[in-house]
Amino acid sequence: MKGRLEDMAVADLIQHNCQDRKTARVQFKNGGQKGELFFKNGNVVHASMGNLSGEDAVYQLVTWEQGTFDLSPDVESPTITVTRNWTSLLLEAARLTDETSEEREAQKEAERTAGLTRGEDERFVEIIQEFSVATPQQLVEQLSSKIEGHRVTCVTQIRGGNLYWYSSSPVELEELVEQVNQFVKMVNTAAVRLKAGKIQDNLLITETDYLLVYFLGKEDFYLLVAADKTKANLGTLRHLARVYGDRMLSALKLEGVLV
């Protein structure tokens, strides 16, 4: 009897031959590979496939899903390499097949996970680069790039000295900081007299610009952002100043500017 493994699986052949208590030889071909099984009175007694023989050969043959088989009845086996009964043999073959499938799936999953991990790592690195590891100057530049109509961003101190700054348009920075410092001092005075608690920010809206001072809460440091009123979004400006203000505080501590 001849047939295709696509029509009858190796496991089915074993089952049928053993249930019928046959003595036979079945030869398999799958591409360039060859193998054979011998049955004796309803049990598998020998198997070979390439360099393999015995149970290992059975387990390999069972995995073949393509190829042909040729059954020759009443052919005696030249040797005995398999002693396990056929049911146990098929159960073990099934277990090994499942295990291999699981390993394959696990490997695929591992590859997928590895891919994801790499992706997340890259995103994590981007986040780290953008925020955590960023220097105050980098934060100033990042913040500036996110504001429509940006004019100038500056981290300074009321007592004087602009520490970090970035300007998108020509500006007399020294003059700007000096004038804003005077203004901030007056705002601070008002806050103290009014027992206003901790100042968060002060936004001055002029005919043409927004001038936002975000207080960093330590040693009179503040973040100053100026933007064109016709282009900038006030809500976004406030939000970004808050977000970057908090990160600036951490960056200044890392730089040793703030204790």
Partner 1 sequence: MSDDLKTLFSEVRADMSDDFIAMDVVGQDGISIAREAVESDFNDQLAAAHFAMVMKLADRLSNNLNMGKAVENQFATDSFVAISRMLGDGSFYWLLVAKAEANIGLLRAVMDQYELRLWGAIPS
Residues that bind partner 1 (CB under 8 A): 175-176, 179-180, 182-183, 186-187, 189-191, 193-209, 211, 235
- Both tokens assigned to 181: 């410092």
Q: How far apart are CA 35 and CA 5, in angstroms?
A: 13
In the complex with partner 1, the residue whose CB is nearer, 79 or 200, is 200
Question: Nearer Cβ to partner 1, position 10 or 184?
Answer: 184
| Min dist. Cβ of residue 128 to partner 1 (A) | 30
Q: Minimum distance from CB of 140 to partner 1 (Å)?
A: 19
Closest CA to 152 of 169, 139, 134, 177: 169
Partners of residue 226 on adjacent β-strands: 152, 211
In the complex with partner 1, which residue's Cβ is closer, 141 or 209? 209
* Cβ atoms within 10 Å of 53's Cβ, excluding its own: 17
d(CA 38, CA 13): 11
Q: Is 13 exposed, middle or buried (0-12, 13-18, 19+ CB in 10 A)?
A: buried
Query: Given the complex with partner 1, which of 91 and 205 has the nearer CB atom?
Result: 205
Q: In angstroms, what is the minimal distance from the CB of 217 to partner 1? A: 10
- Least Cβ distance, residue 247 to partner 1 (angstroms): 19
- Nearer to partner 1 by Cβ, of 56 and 228: the residue is 228
The DSSP code for 184 is: H
The residue among 25 and 151 lying less far from partner 1, judged by its C-beta, is: 151
- For the CB of residue 139, give the shortest distance to partner 1 in the complex, in Å: 22
Rounded Cα distance, 16 and 25, in Å: 13
CB of 131 to partner 1, least distance (A): 24
DSSP 73-92: ETPPPSS----S-HHHHHHH
Q: What would the two tokens of residue 249 be?
A: 């505080």
